[in-house]
Amino acid sequence: MTAGARGGSIELVGVRKTFGPKVVLDHIDLKVAPGESLVVIGGSGTGKSVMLKSVLGILPIDGGVIRLDGVDLAAAPRADRTNLRNRIGMLFQGGALFDSLPVWRNITFALTRGRSRNAKAMHAKAVELLAKVGLDAAVADLKPSELSGGMQKRVALARAIAAEPQIIFFDEPTTGLDPIRADTINRLIRGLVTDLGVTAVTITHDMASARRIADRVAMLKDGRIHWEGKVADLENSGNDYVDRFVHGRAEDGEAG
């Protein structure tokens, strides 16, 4: 993304997603403004990843409307839809790196779209991105299988930001990282939003990370947005479930 450019807006209206008889997203209404950092929280299996994958078009929705920059994706011509979605970068939960390619090719894959381009320049670009996520230049020439889980996560993050997207989705970016490395990632995400105006949507169970990176927080529960508010209101949400979630308190007899 070029300096001064702004992120895109995202709007979900009445979005519904089912898998057979299972209703995962019942009726999701959610707006994210350009240059805003939204953190999505919620119990395991509540549909947070499904929601992001629906916006990306990886999963088709069963009802409702998804708009990117005000454009209804379902109604837009295919080429426009692809262009809009190409402006979104994604950090998948598992990293999803290509094991057969060295790290630098993984990072620059979206830039070259698999075609061979100036290898030296691409390698240098990868090294620059590795530095941003706190990894040494030497990592560029290793295979993903030679890295720890936390290093793989940071390589995946470098790949997500390589094409300078206007909107970035982060699915559990700090899971599996020690607190110092997690802080590097939190700073990076916050910097993308504050300095470059990128729109960020982050799924996390890490409440310390949520407090660091969010402008606003949305809680997903029972297929709907159960609560949303400013990150500063998280501690005093006035919502019993949010309060228990944030402080990690189960009710007597509550199962997993």
Rounded to an integer, what distance in angstroms lies between the CA atom of residue 152 and that of residue 60? 29
Rounded to an integer, what distance in angstroms lies between the CA atom of residue 206 and that of residue 213? 11
Q: Which is nearer to ligand ATP, 24 or 32 (CB)?
A: 24
Q: Which residues have CB under 8 Å from 144's CB, separation 6+?
A: 95, 97, 98, 99, 101, 103, 106, 152, 155
- For position 42 contacting ligand ATP by CB under 6 A, the verdict is yes
Strands 37-41 and 199-203: parallel
- Binders of ligand ATP among residues 151 to 180 (CB under 6 A) are none
Q: Which is nearer to ligand ATP, 114 or 256 (CB)?
A: 256
Among the listed residues 2, 44, 116, 145, the single contact to ligand ATP using CB under 6 A: 44
- Binders of ligand ATP among residues 183 to 202 (CB under 6 A) are none
- For position 19 contacting ligand ATP by CB under 6 A, the verdict is yes
Q: Is residue 127 within 8 Å of residue 137, measured between CB atoms?
A: yes
Q: Which is nearer to ligand ATP, 96 or 131 (CB)?
A: 96
Q: Which tokens hold the place of 178?
A: 């020690």
Q: Which is nearer to ligand ATP, 50 or 61 (CB)?
A: 50
**End-to-end distance of the chain based on CA atoms, in angstroms?**
41
Rounded to an integer, what distance in angstroms lies between the CA atom of residue 256 and that of residue 108? 40
CA-wise closest residue to 17 among 71, 61, 68, 77: 61
Among the listed residues 8, 47, 95, 173, the single contact to ligand ATP using CB under 6 A: 47
Binding residues for ligand ATP, rule CB under 6 A, total 10
Q: Which is nearer to ligand ATP, 59 or 76 (CB)?
A: 59
Q: Which is nearer to ligand ATP, 19 or 98 (CB)?
A: 19
Q: Which residues have CB under 8 Å from 43's CB, separation 6+?
A: 221, 245
Rounded to an integer, what distance in angstroms lies between the CA atom of residue 142 and that of residue 101? 9
Stretch of 27-35, 39-47, 176-184, 236-244 lying at the interface with ligand ATP (CB under 6 A): 39-47
Among the listed residues 24, 127, 217, 218, the single contact to ligand ATP using CB under 6 A: 24
Stretch of 45-53, 103-111, 129-137, 178-186 lying at the interface with ligand ATP (CB under 6 A): 45-53
- Kindly list the residues in this chain that would bind ligand ATP in the complex (CB under 6 A): 19, 24, 42, 44-50
